[in-house]
Amino acid sequence: MPEQSTSTNPVLNSPNKLKLGVFGVNVSGGCSMTSVPSTIKAEWDESVNIAQAADRAGIEAMIPVARWRGMGGEINFNHRNFDPFTWAAGLAAVTERIGIFSTFHIPTVHPVRAAKEVATIDHISGGRFCLNVVAGWNEKEIAMFGTPQLEHDERYDVAEDWITLCKELWTREGEFDYDGPYFKSPGAYSEPKPVQRPGPVLMSAGNSSRGQHFAAKHADLNFVVAQTIESAGEIAAEVKRIAREDYHRDIQVFGQAYIVCRETETEARAFHHHYVNEKGDWEGVRNLLDVLIPNSESALGDGWEAMAANLIAGYGALPLIGTADQVVEGMQAFSDAGIDGITLSWVDYASGLAHFEKELLPRMIEAGLRER
């Protein structure tokens, strides 16, 4: 039976019924493809302030986006993007409790280097580090490295070999020879080991059948992309079943949500209409979908317009729009559907987090979704 993490990582071990992660703070625009002025700029002070506010509010995780170029169009969405590893190392040093994620695109880094960077940030954070493994889908980004992108399922074969070598480097004492189908490492060696044993919390967000099996076999957390909370719950149940039956492991499954919360539902819907329909970057989203649809099996939705609007509004997450009571009802629905946690994003993260602490968190505690 594969070894399960026994770490005290804040994400895996949180007592909260619905765990929370702030997503997308390291990339310009954050998770909203819109020209309204209050979106993420990708400045260091901004990242620190948001991470510290999330830490104070008891949120379990900061999850960056690994990006190498923007989407073109009016705002060139995400074109400024902090490297998620050095970003995570920096945030680990200025936060206290929150889990800090980073993300590798497998084709961009050798596992011997990756294993050491992970171990280093795990030490900086005192065992709060979590690794998101992305097999690669954005072929324009992968092309920047001078090699063509492999076919979809083979990308996960490479990822299997990659993470297997990382796991061996995190657990095996002394030197060993690694001879995998894609990676060879004679005299492989890595010290210090990560603080977390047997290694850091691992996340994978593939939604294809191959991606789900990769997550079920190797990851502690899988993130689902779905069109409704109910279907997210069905996918979560299936991933948990695959992990249990095929790999004899338990896995947590997270969903994704974006929040537009105002005093009245009418006001919330009006702002949503404004930043998506009036100020959305429709040229940028066309560029994004031109790459996403042929390369990611997570992208399939109910028609181009709906998919585009959803990407503009929250980068493919599910909407939590309305009053504070309505938003928390939506969070309750995620939990009732069997989802262990959700990512959160806002157009304006700083005011969103302040509002979260004042208005949403007390309601979540009242509903039994959070302990504090």
Ligand X SMILES: Cc1cc2nc3c(=O)[nH]c(=O)nc-3n(C[C@H](O)[C@H](O)[C@H](O)COP(=O)(O)O)c2cc1C
Residue nearest to ligand X (CB): 211
Q: Of 16, 28, 138, 252, which lies in the binding site for ligand X, with binding defined by CB under 6 A?
A: 138
* Stretch of 173-181, 192-200, 204-212, 324-332 lying at the interface with ligand X (CB under 6 A): 204-212
Closest approach of Cβ 137 to ligand X, in Å?
Answer: 4
Q: Which residues 6+ apart lie within 8 Å of 105 measured at CB?
A: 66, 134, 136, 141, 142
Helical H runs in the chain? 44-56, 84-94, 111-125, 139-143, 152-171, 209-218, 229-247, 265-273, 282-295, 304-314, 324-336, 349-355, 361-366
Q: Which is nearer to ligand X, 28 or 256 (CB)?
A: 256
* For residue 198, cis peptide bond before it (omega within 30 degrees of 0): yes
- Contact of 112 with 141, CB cutoff 8 Å: no
What is the smallest separation between the CB atom of 37 and ligand X, expressed in angstroms?
25
State yes or no: residue 70 binds ligand X (CB under 6 A): no
Q: Does 206 help bind ligand X (rule: CB under 6 A)?
A: yes
Helix (H, G, I), strand (E, B) or coil at 129: strand
Out of 87, 223, 275, 349, the residue judged to bind ligand X by CB under 6 A: 223
205 near ligand X (CB under 6 A): yes
Nearer to ligand X (CB atom), residue 142 or residue 353 = 142
Q: Does 134 interact with ligand X (rule: CB under 6 A)?
A: yes
d(CA 352, CA 334): 20
| Residue closer to ligand X (CB basis): 22 or 188 | 22
Rounded CA-CA distance 232/345 in Å is 18
The one among 7, 14, 125, 208 contacting ligand X by CB under 6 A? 208
Q: Confirm if 119 and 192 have CB atoms less than 8 A apart.
A: yes
256 scored as a contact of ligand X (CB under 6 A): yes
Under rule CB under 6 A, residue 102 binds ligand X? no
3-state SS string for 282-339: HHHHHHHHHHHHHHCCCCCCCCHHHHHHHHHHHCCCEEEEECHHHHHHHHHHHHHCCC
DSSP 107: G
| Cα–Cα distance measured from residue 83 to residue 64, given in angstroms and rounded to the nearest whole number | 9
**Please, what is the minimum distance in Å from the beta carbon of residue 344 to ligand X?**
11
Q: Which is nearer to ligand X, 214 or 356 (CB)?
A: 214
Say how far apart CA 67 and CA 105 lie, in whole Å. Answer: 9
How far is C-alpha 169 from the geometric centre of its chain's CA atoms? 24
Pick 115 or 221: Cβ nearer ligand X: 221
Interacting span for ligand X (CB under 6 A) from 2-10, 263-271, 290-298, 331-339: 290-298
SS3 348: coil
Residue 298 makes contact with ligand X by CB under 6 A: yes
Q: Of these, 75, 88, 169, 225, which contacts ligand X (CB under 6 A)?
A: 225
Determine if 85 is a binding residue for ligand X (CB under 6 A): no
Among 26, 47, 343, 345, binds ligand X (CB under 6 A): 343
Q: Which is nearer to ligand X, 28 or 138 (CB)?
A: 138
**129 vs 137 by CB, closer to ligand X:** 137
For ligand X, the binding residue among 34, 125, 207, 345 (CB under 6 A) is 207
Distance CA 77, CA 28 (A): 6
Considering the rule CB under 6 A, would residue 65 count as an interface residue with ligand X? yes
Minimum CB–partner distance for residue 206 and ligand X (Å): 3
Task: Collapse the DSSP code of 371 into the 3-class scheme (helix H, G, I; strand E, B; otherwise coil) and give the result.
Answer: coil
Q: How many residues belong to the chain?
A: 372
The verdict on 103 binding ligand X (CB under 6 A) reads yes
Contact pick of 28, 78, 296, 345 for ligand X (by CB under 6 A): 296
Residues that bind ligand X (CB under 6 A): 65-66, 103, 105, 132, 134-135, 137-138, 205-208, 211, 223, 225, 256, 296-298, 343
